Amino acid sequence: MRFRRGRISLREKMERGLAAQRLYAAGVEDDDPRRAANTERLERHAAQIPPAPKARKLRRPVDGRPVQPLEKDIQKACLHLLRAHPKVAFAYRINSGTFTEQNADGSTRYISAHTMPGMSDLCAVLKNGRAAFFEIKRPGQKATPLQQAFIDRANAAGALASVVTDADQLSALLG
């Protein structure tokens, strides 16, 4: 179902109405003379419903290129996939960066939360005991040299590590 500005489309209203009429028509007994006429009328109504519009790719107004998903949305989808995947024991996200906190006297202090240079965004432990690290990037973006070095070191140590641009790619990696 597709909502536009909080309203459903005419096509969806017609489909819902037709579904309700078919439900009521199913309750009519087989030997009722109106059954054939009702079935024919419902099929005529079904033929009048316009086909669903083709899905259009959203384009950015600035340069006309297709809209790409944000990294945080890809990361959220990948984390949901990891947590639900049967081969994964557990998965978590690594937060890093600098955060601010207000002290009691009103001054601001900076808290630096870093794990190690190049650490991947998502970490998991597979049920076979193998570690997994996934650096999430938007389509077309590449890992920084520090991130790529971490991925190379993790793979050399026997872990599963890779740059991932969507949940389907992650699913294929897990097999």
Q: What is the total count of domains within the chain? A: 2
3-state secondary structure the chain: CCEECCEECHHHHHHHHHHHHHHHHHCCCCCCCHHHHHHHHHHHHHHHCCCCCCCCCCECCCCCCECCCCHHHHHHHHHHHHHHCCCEEEEEECCCEEEEEECCCCCEEEEEECCCCCCCCEEEEECCCCEEEEEECCCCCCCCHHHHHHHHHHHHCCCEEEEECCHHHHHHHHC
| Residue 112 counted as domain residue | yes
Residue 119: give its domain's CATH number. Answer: 3.40.1350.10
Residues 112 and 31 in one domain: no
What pLDDT sits at residue 44?
84
**Of 58-72, 93-107, 124-138, minimum mean pLDDT range:** 58-72
CB 132 within 8 A of CB 158: no
Residues 40 and 98 in one domain: no
| Residue 165 counted as domain residue | yes
What pLDDT sits at residue 143?
94
Higher pLDDT, 72 or 50: 72
Residues 43 and 85 in one domain: no
Residues 104 and 40 in one domain: no
Residues 78 and 156 in one domain: yes
Residues 80 and 17 in one domain: no
Residues 102 and 151 in one domain: yes
The residue range of the domain holding 27 is: 3-48
Residues 167 and 133 in one domain: yes
What pLDDT sits at residue 1?
44
> Is 171 a residue whose pLDDT tops 80?
yes
